[in-house]
């Protein structure tokens, strides 16, 4: 969907107008209400619309105006208005009329929001407009989106366009993360995913791909063991954005990219296994972030690296009871082949922190079902050896509406991955502290560098049904929090 910005004196056609708490009309809403002889006031009185954030009320063809429709949208208390509320409200408006037959609408934010708020409105609208219809060949016209554009009014149009240069890049990153998550596993496999990432060079990213021969030479037996049952060769994709000072240590973002996870020999139950096409959600967040940073020309040096693997149960597949040697030299006893993501990440983390000597490391993975049990699908869990990074991510999560909650690490949990048969094992103690045990495993491969692991098992797929910014099964979760983390703390 195309987003444009204009001044209030150029408004024509259908409009979306803000209403504050207790049905307090904005100037734009009051002007239409007056012109229509009180049609908006009567519609509000006849409904349960009160101006709460996220509420909408559609009035068709009000008399005295040339608008086919007017959509009232709530912003809550004017004194407490935040950019995130505007973002979600723009998403609600978009969702309301996406299939309505309307092709364009003007969202009135003049006199209400600054340039930043106008830009965030564009982000919300773009997120709500996303569709994954690539393989739906029988959609009737009434089920296809009609809305193709939104014009947002602003007091300073030039400043709003500048803000959109930034937030539009974030929208593009979220779209890309959603696309790769939604693609079926017969289309997106480690090889085709690597090729798709190579195409990101057109946005100014430096791309490097490692194949299995290169990984074998490096000694990445953990990662290679996960993919040895698949017909598709495993890959590692490296994305570099050099937007900061020359020679400045980069920020490192690492993502788990299991394009399909059958569980291997420790086969998953059949019900719901189709959703394991989304077990690459961590990599999707990293890919989307790198697209966003490049798109808005972020003033930072950043590296995104993702391990792309498929976990399948053929005659050459890894077995429970195997012992493998990681690139770090540590040996790992495999007790469950479905605890595979940590094996992939462990080798990638060790390789990346040694080669790039980053300022900090953040990894993301749909790692454990236990995380979904602990926090549901509204928050991701974070595990960190650095209080500053954890606090920055917590703040970035709240600012971006992708919240996180910090979980513990410690010596009392390290013992969960001890074994008599190797240096460590790849699962913890039964059903106890499963997400923490997985994080403790990853901690063994960061060499005490500042690091945070984000378990997004509950947030990368499915989404929050009551949030219009999440219309898709693949949510693209992680792009916004990481972008906010970077822009608020690490750009000069």
| pLDDT at 492 > cutoff 80 | no
Question: What is the predicted pLDDT for the residue at 18?
Answer: 98
pLDDT, tens digit, for every residue of 228-237? 999 999 999 9
Cα separation of the two ends of the chain? 32
Give the model's confidence band at 417: pLDDT under 50 very low, under 70 low, under 90 confident, else very high. Answer: very high
Q: What is the pLDDT of residues 251-272, one digit of tens each?
A: 999 999 999 999 999 999 999 9
pLDDT single digits (tens) 76-130: 999 999 999 999 999 999 999 999 999 999 999 999 999 999 999 999 999 999 9
DSSP state of 474: B
Average pLDDT on 30-39 reads 97
Neighbouring CB atoms inside 10 A of 403's CB total: 17
- The full DSSP string for 59-122 is EES-TTS--SEEEEEE---GGG--HHHHHHHHHHHHHHHTTSS--EEEEE-TTT--HHHHHHHH
342 noted as active-site residue: yes
CA–CA gap between residue 166 and residue 123 (Å, rounded) = 10
pLDDT for 421 beyond 80: yes
| Sequence spans of domains, the chain | 2-155, 171-489
Please give the Cα distance from 420 to 406 (Å, whole number). 31
SS3 sequence of 29-48:
HHHHHHHCCCHHHHHHHCCC
Question: Would residue 291 show up in a list of annotated catalytic residues for this protein?
Answer: no
Whether pLDDT at 173 is above 80: yes
Residue 121 has which token pair?
């409105």
Tokens of 231: 């017909």
Query: Per CATH, the architecture of 171-489 is what?
Result: 3-Layer(aba) Sandwich (3.40)
Assign 464 a pLDDT band (cuts: 50, 70, 90).
confident
Question: Residue 319's pLDDT is what?
Answer: 98
Which listed residue (268, 325, 359, 406) is catalytic?
268
Asked if residue 463 has pLDDT above 90, the reply is no
What is the crossing angle of helices 281-295 and 479-489, to 10°?
Answer: 50
Residues 192/486, Cβ–Cβ less than 8 Å: no
**Whole-number percent of the chain with pLDDT over 90:** 98
**Which CATH architecture best describes the domain 2-155?**
3-Layer(aba) Sandwich (3.40)
DSSP 361: E
pTM: predicted TM-score of the whole model, two decimal places: 0.97
pLDDT value at residue 465: 85
Q: What's the mean per-residue pLDDT of the chain?
A: 97
Burial of 199 (0-12, 13-18, 19+ CB in 10 A): exposed
Of 108, 291, 342, 425, the catalytic one is 342
The band of 281, judged by pLDDT with boundaries at 50, 70 and 90, is: very high
């Amino acid at each position: 969907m195309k987003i444009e910005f204009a001044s209030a004196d150029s408004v024509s056609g259908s409009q979306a107008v803000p209403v504050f708490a207790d049905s307090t009309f904005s100037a734009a809403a009051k002007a239409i209400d007056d012109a229509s002889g009180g049609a908006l006031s009567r519609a509000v009185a006849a409904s349960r619309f009160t101006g709460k954030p996220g509420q909408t009320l559609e009035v068709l063809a009000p008399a005295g105006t040339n608008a086919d429709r007017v959509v009232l949208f709530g912003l809550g208390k004017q004194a407490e208005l935040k950019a995130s509320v505007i973002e979600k409200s723009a998403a609600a408006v978009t969702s309301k009329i996406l299939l309505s037959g309307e092709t364009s609408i003007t969202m009135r934010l003049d006199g209400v929001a600054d340039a930043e708020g106008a830009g965030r409105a564009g982000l919300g609208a773009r997120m709500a407009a996303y569709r994954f219809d690539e393989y739906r060949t029988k959609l009737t016209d009434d089920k296809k989106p009609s809305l193709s554009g939104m014009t947002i009014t602003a007091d300073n149009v030039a400043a709003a366009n500048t803000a959109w240069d930034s937030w539009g890049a974030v929208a593009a990153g979220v779209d890309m993360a959603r696309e790769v998550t939604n693609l079926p596993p017969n289309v997106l496999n480690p090889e085709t995913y690597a090729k798709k990432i190579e195409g990101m060079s057109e946005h100014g990213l430096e791309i490097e791909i490692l194949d299995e021969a290169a990984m074998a030479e490096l000694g990445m037996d953990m990662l290679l063991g996960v993919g040895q049952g698949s017909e598709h060769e495993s890959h590692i994709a490296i994305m570099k954005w050099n937007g900061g000072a020359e020679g400045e240590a980069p920020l490192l973002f690492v993502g788990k990219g299991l394009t399909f996870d059958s569980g291997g020999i420790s086969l998953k139950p059949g019900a719901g296994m189709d959703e394991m096409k989304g077990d690459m959600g961590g990599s999707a967040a990293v890919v989307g972030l790198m697209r966003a940073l490049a798109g808005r020309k972020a003033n930072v040096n950043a590296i995104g690296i993702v391990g792309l693997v498929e976990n399948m149960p053929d005659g050459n597949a890894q077995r429970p009871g195997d012992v493998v040697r990681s690139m770090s030299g540590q040996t790992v006893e495999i007790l469950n082949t479905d605890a595979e993501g940590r094996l992939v990440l462990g080798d990638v983390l060790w390789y990346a922190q040694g080669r790039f000597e980053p300022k900090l490391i953040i990894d993301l993975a749909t790692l454990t079902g236990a995380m979904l049990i602990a926090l549901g699908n509204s928050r991701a869990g974070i595990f960190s050896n650095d209080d500053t990074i954890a606090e920055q991510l917590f703040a970035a999560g709240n600012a971006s509406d992708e919240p996180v909650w910090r979980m513990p690490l410690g010596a009392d949990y390290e013992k969960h991955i001890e074994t008599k048969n190797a240096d460590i094992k790849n699962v913890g103690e039964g059903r106890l502290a499963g997400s923490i045990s997985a994080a403790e495993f990853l901690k063994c491969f960061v060499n005490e560098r500042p690091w945070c692991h984000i378990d997004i098992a509950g947030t990368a797929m499915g989404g929050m049904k009551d949030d219009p910014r999440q219309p898709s099964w693949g949510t693209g979760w992680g792009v916004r929090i990481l972008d906010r983390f970077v822009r608020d703390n690490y750009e000069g």
